[in-house]
Amino acid sequence: MFVDQVKVYVKAGDGGNGSVAFHREKYVAMGGPAGGDGGNGGDIVFEVDEGLNTLMDFRYQRHFKAPRGEHGKGKGMHGKNAEPLILAVPPGTTVKDLATDEVIADLTEHKQRAVIAKGGRGGRGNIRFASPRNPAPEIAENGEPGIERDIQIELKLIADVGLVGFPSVGKSTLLSVVSAARPKIADYHFTTLQPNLGVVDTADQRSFVLADLPGLIEGAHEGVGLGHQFLRHVERTRVILHVLDMAGSEGRDPYDDFITINKELEQYDETLLERPQLIVANKMDIEEAEENLELFKEQLEEDYEIIPVSTITREGLRELLFKVADKLDEIPKNYKPIEEKEERVIYRYEKQEEAFHITRDPDGAFVLSGAKIEKLFKMTDFTRDESAQRFARQMRSMGVDAALRERGAVDGDTVRLLDYEFEFME
């Protein structure tokens, strides 16, 4: 089964907790601190495997969690860092964060890697908190939480040439004749429900990858018919073969078909029409085809190269393959030019996310939220008084106390942070 789009939840490993420990040493209060740091959590990493051509492995397992780092130990021993969780994906995989709609990675080359979710760093042990004022601290951090996110994984096939056209114009038949691929062929619309790839070899020992993509209809750019299931895959092709039923066997006009399909391509991504496009006038073995072809040439306003063929009699196919191979020789692999960037780096101010937000629950309690304050909370070991006091100082330095007073908080009011409740005190 061909799977080219799937939604997945990933969770990188949390960092290991720092340790509170002491060793015996003459003339050192309480023997001195000896708690080591926790290990770093494992990353979620995607790696391209050219042997894959589908996202089938993600169809039945939708949750992936990397291991957490090992906790720190006594005698200053550092916890072991966790190994990354490496997931294999096919070439052409794009990863998008569902919450922000941001593209995290675009993976195209064999063995290319991308960190999709970063593991948390290990918490610091009490060795790190020793100071002249507090030579034997009972403070240690919990490990930093690993990144967790819902992502959408899309596969955009990497093919040199893409076949576009209305259903039943002969795209699948053309692929089956010029390559060893065996797509489903039948006398009804939308026979091809998934993209098919075939390697084409020309008589002069040149080769290219040809993709037979599901048929388009009017409104495809909005998701009508197979919609984006098709259009996603044409993005990476370097040459477009526009297949037309020149005999009009479906009762449609070839020129109207041509205009409609190109309009759908343009509305999906206007850069698609900048790609070289060859017109394949198919079904030339039928009587009406010659007359329709002449009329089509008269109606055609732009200069397109037209190759008449018949997939049944195989007439014109040799010429078509040579023209495609010649066109590919003229086009670099990376069709979209990479914009040149100036060497001088210009600093642009980016607004930082607020450290915390304050809201009110229906029962009158003040609720603290925000990525920074929640991260500090999760990394605090509340089983130790010194760690709790340190967290209180951190909140004060962030301006939480002052902000609560401005919102009307007084002694004894309840303040909530995640699942934790405490009383506000002046």
Q: Name every residue whose Cβ is closer than 8 Å to that of residue 231 and which is 6 or more positions away in sequence.
A: 216, 220, 221, 264, 265, 268, 269
CA distances, 287 to each of 102, 313, 317 (Å): 52, 14, 19
Which tens digits make up the pLDDT trace of 311-340?
Answer: 889 999 999 999 999 998 888 665 443 333
Residue 170 assigned ligand-binding role = yes
CATH number of 39's domain = 2.70.210.12
- What is the amino acid identity at position 279? I
Highest mean pLDDT among 35-49, 96-110, 169-183, 250-264: 35-49
Determine, yes or no, domain membership for 121: yes
Task: Tell whether 362 is in a known binding site.
Answer: no
Q: At what angle do helices 254-268 and 288-299 cross, to 10 degrees?
A: 50
Q: How many structural domains comprise the chain?
A: 3
The answer to whether 172 is a known ligand-binding residue is yes
- Please indicate, yes or no, if residue 351 is contained in any of the structural domains: no
Average pLDDT, the chain: 83
Note the pLDDT tens digit of each residue in 107-140: 988 999 999 999 999 999 999 999 888 888 999 9
Let me know if residue 10 belongs to a domain: yes
For residue 193, say whether it is annotated as part of any ligand binding site: yes
**Quick check: is 337 in a domain?**
no
Residue 220 confidence (pLDDT): 40
Q: Based on the domain organization, do 83 and 136 belong to the same domain? A: yes
Q: Is 282 annotated as a binding residue?
A: yes
pLDDT for the residue numbered 49: 92
Q: Considering 123, 155, 187, which residue would you say is the last residue of a domain?
A: 155
Whether this model's pTM surpasses 0.75: no
Q: How far apart are CA 103 and CA 117, in angstroms?
A: 13
Residue 7 is assigned to a ligand binding site: no
> Is 213 known as a binding-site position?
yes
Please state whether beta strands 239-245 and 277-282 pair in parallel, antiparallel, or not at all (unpaired). parallel
- Look at residues 108, 126, 155 and tell me which one is the last residue of a structural domain: 155
Between these two residues, 396 and 426, which has the higher pLDDT value?
A: 396
Q: Tens digits of per-residue pLDDT, 30-80?
A: 678 899 999 999 999 999 998 887 788 888 899 999 999 999 999 899 999
- CATH number of the domain at 275, please: 3.40.50.300
Please report whether residue 190 resides in a domain: yes
Together in a domain, 178 and 323: yes
- Say if residue 123 is in the same domain as residue 192: no
Judgement on whether residues 186 and 115 belong to the same structural domain of the protein: no
Q: Are residues 266 and 166 in the same domain?
A: yes
The verdict on whether residue 397 carries a ligand-binding annotation is no
Is position 208 annotated in a ligand binding site?
A: no
Do 188 and 244 sit in the same domain of this protein?
yes
The pLDDT of residue 186 is 43
Q: Are 147 and 185 contained in the same domain?
A: no
- Is 165 labeled as ligand-binding? yes
Residues 88 and 219 in one domain: no
Whether 145 and 181 map to the same domain: the answer is no
15 and 113 in a single domain? The answer is: yes
192 is in an annotated binding site: yes
Instruction: Extract the tokens encoding 162.
Output: 């893409």
Q: Give the pLDDT score at 136.
A: 85
Write down the pLDDT at residue 232. 64
Q: Is 219 annotated as a binding residue?
A: no
132, 155, 178 — which closes off a domain? 155
Task: For residue 189, tell me if it sits in a domain.
Answer: yes
Confidence at residue 152, expressed as pLDDT on a 0 to 100 scale: 93
Range of the domain at 266: 161-330
Check whether 106 is labelled as a binding-site residue. Answer: no
Q: How many alpha carbons lie under 13 Å from residue 138 in its C-beta half-sphere?
A: 9
Least-confidence region, from 72-81, 172-181, 254-263: 172-181
297 lies in the same domain as 165: yes
Contacts of 359 (CB under 8 A, 6+ apart): 366, 367, 369
* Separation between Cα atoms, residue 325 and residue 27, nearest integer Å: 83
Question: Is residue 364 marked as binding?
Answer: no
Is residue 163 part of an annotated ligand binding site? no
Q: pLDDT: is 85 or 163 the higher one?
A: 85
CA distances from 384 to 72, 126, 274, 414 (A): 16, 12, 65, 22
Q: What is the pLDDT of residue 423?
A: 87
Distances in Å between the Cα of 42 and the Cα atoms of 13, 66, 199, 339, 409 are 5, 5, 39, 34, 41
Asked, for residue 336, whether it belongs to a domain, the answer is no
Q: Is 129 annotated as a binding residue?
A: no
In this prediction, residue 333 carries a pLDDT of 63
65 and 87 part of one domain: yes
More confident residue, 251 or 152: 152
| Residue 64 forms part of a structural domain | yes
Q: Is residue 29 very low, low, confident or very high in pLDDT (cuts 50, 70, 90)?
A: low
| CB neighbour class for 184 (10 Å; exposed up to 12, middle 13-18, buried from 19) | exposed
Bridge partners, residue 161, by sequence: 210, 239
Q: Is the pLDDT reported for residue 345 higher than 60?
A: no
- Residue 380, domain CATH: 3.30.300.350
Percent of the chain predicted with pLDDT > 90? 42
